[in-house]
Amino acid sequence: MLSNVVASQIRTHAPYGGVVPELASREHLQNIVPVVRAALEQAGCTLEDLDAIAVTEGPGLAGALLVGVMYAKGLAFARNKPLIAVNHLEGHIHAVLLEAKKQAQMLAQPTLALVVSGGHTHLYLAEETDGTWRYKNIGRTVDDAAGEAFDKVSKLLGLGYPGGPWIDWLSQHGDPHAVPFGPITVKQKPYRAPQKQSPRFLFSFSGLKTAVLRYVQLHGMKPTIEARHRTLTGIADAKPLHALPLCDTETLDLIASFQRAVVDDLVRKTFAAGETFHTASIVVSGGVAANGELRQHFLAEGRSRALPVIFPSLELSTDNAAMIAAAAWPKFVAGDIATATLTAEPSLALG
């Protein structure tokens, strides 16, 4: 990895407590040229030195994806370079593989990949044969993604955006068992993929979010939440540290209990899926993979079962360009080059 430049849009979306699609596209437009220039400069190379250009094809917001796809197509055409289309979720999985390769680690196969981000909570069986990776989707969320639940609960409690890092940090100061959120069950017949007949592992986080809301209402927490929100919006570049003195024990316990419930659910279902499919390793990636408690619990459970669990570094857990290049490499080697008809695919599936 010669360079990995990230243009964060957090400041733009923070006042809204979530991503505003129109603003996201505009930011992409403004940032794409400077980011590519900075990436080349930091890598000490020019466009001419590149073997190929890789771009995220989907899934994601149409406007933001289109900016990337059109720019990459233009660049590839103008410089006569091969263009590689990459699925964003495959990118998250390859963030782990990139680092495993760097440390000359062999990933025991088949591997089970949990991609857990703001838009996804998906389980894939991933296997490589002759340099080509294949994926089979065996689990997903039926409503909110885990990251989305972190973001919504953070907003609900008057904390900052994105919610994950706030809840992660503040949870250390609360009792994770104070609010007895039970195991999450999905009241739905397990979905069976039409041809493959493989069991599906279903996640659901919107019920837990509603349970947090009910708790807030029942315990009359609204006035303190509003006061906290007002104070934090008055602080330039507010951090979770600023929120600590604004949270009473009840709030910190609620935060820690929410996080514990999400982590328990992700660990329980992922290992159950690993057992069902006899996987030899587990890979956890996506923004929520940056969560401290999630890492600890996954690693401890993996140790107790003698099943290797691998996370990307914090830097490569959240969205980045290096993971897209890493996922593109095997495709480049295999000659899997995109054609001029490539376009953004907002609901592109993997596997």
Enumerate binding residues for ligand KG4 (CB under 6 A): 117-119, 147, 150-151, 162-165, 168, 286-288, 290-291, 318-319
CB 4 within 8 A of CB 147: no
Judged by beta carbon distances under 5 to 8 A according to partner kind, the member of Zn ion, ligand KG4, none in contact with residue 165 is: ligand KG4
Judged by beta carbon distances under 5 to 8 A according to partner kind, the member of ligand KG4, Zn ion, none in contact with residue 290 is: ligand KG4
Draw the binding track, 317-346, toward Zn ion (x: CB under 5 A; -: no contact): --x---------------------------
CB of 233 to ligand KG4, least distance (A): 18
Nearer to ligand KG4 among residue 202 and residue 324 (C-beta) = 324
DSSP state of 48: G
Q: Virtual CA dihedral for 52, 53, 54, 57, nearest 10 degrees?
A: -130
Nearer to ligand KG4 among residue 287 and residue 330 (C-beta) = 287
Token digits of residue 40: 């080349």
* Cis upstream peptide for 21 (omega within 30°): no
Contacts for 291 with CB less than 8 Å, ≥ 6 apart: 164, 168, 259, 263
Specify the stretch interacting with Zn ion by CB under 5 A; choose among 149-157, 180-188, 315-323, 332-340. 315-323
CA–CA gap between residue 274 and residue 151 (Å, rounded): 28
CB 285 within 8 A of CB 317: yes
CB of 240 to Zn ion, least distance (A): 21
Judged by beta carbon distances under 5 to 8 A according to partner kind, the member of ligand KG4, Zn ion, none in contact with residue 176 is: none
Nearer to Zn ion among residue 151 and residue 319 (C-beta) = 319
CB of 248 to ligand KG4, least distance (A): 22
- In 72-110, where do the E strands start and end? 83-87
CB 61 within 8 A of CB 29: no
Token digits of residue 120: 């996804």
Q: Which helix or strand (DSSP H or E) is residue 127 part of?
A: strand 121-129
Nearer to Zn ion among residue 118 and residue 240 (C-beta) = 118
CB 160 within 8 A of CB 169: no
Backbone angles phi, psi at 86, to 5 degrees: -125, 140
Among 56, 87, 117, 251, binds Zn ion (CB under 5 A): 117
DSSP state of 105: P
CB of 166 to ligand KG4, least distance (A): 8
Specify the stretch interacting with Zn ion by CB under 5 A; choose among 51-59, 98-106, 146-154, 316-324. 316-324
CB of 267 to Zn ion, least distance (A): 20
Smallest CA-to-CA distance from 297 within 148, 136, 116, 144 is with: 116
CB 208 within 8 A of CB 181: yes
Nearer to ligand KG4 among residue 25 and residue 198 (C-beta) = 25
Nearer to Zn ion among residue 162 and residue 176 (C-beta) = 162
The count of other CB atoms within 10 Å of the CB of residue 244 is: 13
Judged by beta carbon distances under 5 to 8 A according to partner kind, the member of ligand KG4, Zn ion, none in contact with residue 291 is: ligand KG4
Judged by beta carbon distances under 5 to 8 A according to partner kind, the member of ligand KG4, Zn ion, none in contact with residue 267 is: none
Nearer to ligand KG4 among residue 64 and residue 273 (C-beta) = 64
Judged by beta carbon distances under 5 to 8 A according to partner kind, the member of ligand KG4, Zn ion, none in contact with residue 163 is: ligand KG4
DSSP state of 85: E
Nearer to ligand KG4 among residue 82 and residue 292 (C-beta) = 292
Query: What angle is formed at CA 346 by the lines to CA 345 and CA 350, rounded to 5 degrees?
Result: 75
CB of 195 to ligand KG4, least distance (A): 28
Using CB under 5 A as the criterion, which residues of the chain lie in contact with Zn ion when the complex forms?
Answer: 117, 319
